[in-house]
Amino acid sequence: MASPPSIDSRAAVAPLAALAARYDDRRPDRWAQVPEPLDAAIAQDVELAEAGRVARAPLVTELARRFEFPARYLDAILLVPRERFVLPEDVAASADDTPLPLDRAGHATVSAPHAYLLTYSLLGLAPGDHVLELGTGTGYGAALARRILGPTGHVTSIEIDPALHARAARLLGARPDRRGDDEALASSSAGPSDEGASVALLCGDGRSLAERALARGRTPFSERPWKVAVTYALTEPPAALEERLADGGVLVAPVGAWEGHQELMRVERRQGALLREVHGAVRYVAERGQP
C-alpha cells in the first residue's frame, strides 16, 4: 500500500477546503448539469489534486483501523481523486467518508468511500476480475474498481440517467462505442491504462442490461464469471440476476423495502447452488425505474 503521510485530519483537509473555494460559485444552480469546461478545470488543477490526496490520507488510516481491507483497496481510495466525481460545490467535502448528493431529488449520490470497499471485499475483487456495476453515478465506484482490478481486469457499469452517464464517460475518459449493447440508450468505453482496468459504460435500465450481460454466461473478455455490484437499494432480492450467475459468480446488493431497513446481501453460485449471506444494515438510495 502507498503510505499516506501521518497528519492531523483537520490540518490535512484545510488546504483542500481552501482550494475548493475556487469552484464554489461557478454555477448559479448547483443541481444543473456540470459543464465540461468546469470538470476539465478541476481535473487539471494540480494543486487541488495534491490537496485532495493529502486530505484522503487520514481517511485511509481510519479505514485501515476500522476494517480489514486489502492494501490494494486502500491504495485506490488514496489515489482516485474523489474531488473530480462529486459536484463542484462539494469538493471541500470529497475526502469525508460520507455520501454526497448528485441531484436535487436525492435519487443519486456518490456513496461513502467505505461503502464501495465493503461491496468490493464481499465480491472478493482481485486483479484480473471482471465487474458488472449497476448504478454508475459519476463513475467514482468504477474508478476505484479499475484501480483494484489492474490492467488485466474489466468494469462494465450501467447508469439509467443519461446526464450522469455522459459525465461519468467524460470523467473516466471513455469514448462513444457502437459495440455496446444494442438495447442501451448510449454506450462508451476506455481501454486499460495507468488508471487500471478497461471500462465499458452503458446507459439504460440496470436490471434489463445486466440480465442480458449475465445471460451470456462468462464475461466476453475472459473465462472469469461476472462479479456484480448493485449500488442502489432493491426492494427484494434480484431473482432474475441471481439465476443468471455463472458458477463462481457473485452478486452483492443492498436489499430492503425502505431506507431504514436495508441489509447488504451477498449471493454466490457454487457448484450450481445459490449461497446467500446477509452482512449488516446499510443505507442506499432506492432503485430508479425506466428513464
Residue 189 catalytic? no
Nearest to 62 by CA among 95, 22, 105: 95
Residue position matching grid coordinates 442501451: 184
Catalytic residue among 3, 9, 94, 111: 111
Q: Say how far apart CA 254 and CA 234 lie, in whole Å.
A: 6
Q: Say how far apart CA 272 and CA 254 lie, in whole Å.
A: 23
Decide: 261 and 233 in contact? Cβ < 8 Å.
Answer: no
- Active-site residues, by number, are 111
